Amino acid sequence: MKEIPDGTIHLMVTSPPYYNAPFDYPDLFETYEEFLQLVRDLSKDLYRVMAPGRVACFVTDDMLVKGQKYPVVADVTRLMLDAGFRYRDRIVWVKPKGYVRISRRSGVVIQHPYPMYYYPDNIQESILVFQKGKFDYSYLRGLPAKELEKSRIPIDAYNGEGWALTVWNITNVLPMGQRLEKGVAAFPEEIPKRLIRLFSFHGETVLDPFLGSGTTMKVAQELGRSSWGFEIDRGLGKIIKQKLAGNSQSGWKVEFLFRRDTNRIPRSERLRSKRPSQIIAKIAR
């Protein structure tokens, strides 16, 4: 993320590609270690670009691939700690019970109602919250009163919608219909909306290094935050532009850069696009 100056990001919200997820990224990575190296590289550069005391959030979960379970949550946590971050919190995102893409693993017990056949269906993911050092709360005294007021957390939603809890019940983006993110493992807008309101101030800068369809940047702009986004799959450029164009507000400047740097792109990332390059998006006033 060489385009981003040191210490200028106030919040990161992202969802890395799920390790070889059967529905979304089958055989994307050659090995689990290749996936971990991607996270390791990100965490080091992330520590550079994050402002002191600020928060980085990963939406991810352990993966079951070809009968083997991979401890993604534990390993992402370990790599972020190795990079110098503090482990602040873990929120459990619970999806509706009728989620059509769950594996139905629990049905094995119905076929074989005996011990040792139990494999639960997974309807949750983890939102891992890390912090670069500790936040200096005297920072609030230096903010203009207008910006501070615009940053106020909506207490009705905070209490009424369960923001205050470590379990968030949020409907996922279902893979159906004519939605713009068709074929993309997008997370619902409600997740970045809550995280941006809870961990950044109006006018600050949000980052999503695995931009996907552009959800984080769209929500950040709606909430009055500038943002950066990086995406390795140039094929998603049209979707990102559509999502951000439908969200244009006066006074905001949207920039797109393309960096062709295939020698540094892992094999797994090159497989995602016939024209591999990085899409770099930036929104600012």
Q: Is the dihedral of CA 257, 263, 266, 267 positive or negative?
A: positive
Distance CA 69, CA 103 (A): 13
Distance CA 221, CA 249 (A): 8
Buried b or exposed e, range 129-159, using 16+ CB within 10 angstroms? bbbbeeeeeeeeeebeeeeeeebeeeeeeee
Write the CA distances from 233 to 63, 207, 241, 270, integer angstroms: 22, 17, 13, 8
For 26-60, write each residue's pLDDT tens digit: 888 999 999 999 999 999 999 999 999 999 999 99
Confidence bin at 232 (pLDDT 50/70/90): confident
pLDDT at 224 over 50: yes
Task: Report which of residues 247 and 156 the model is more confident about.
Answer: 156
> What's the pTM value of the predicted model, to 2 decimals?
0.88
Task: Report which of residues 19 and 285 the model is more confident about.
Answer: 19
Average pLDDT value over all residues in the chain: 87
Distance CA 90, CA 57 (A): 9
Q: What share of the chain is helix, strand, coil (3-state, %, to 5)?
A: 30, 25, 45
Looking at residues 16-31, what average pLDDT do you find? 84
Q: Any alpha helices (H) in 83-226, and if so which ranges? A: 107-111, 145-150, 155-160, 190-199, 215-222
For 96-151, write each residue's pLDDT tens digit: 886 655 566 788 898 899 999 898 888 899 999 999 999 999 999 999 999 999 99
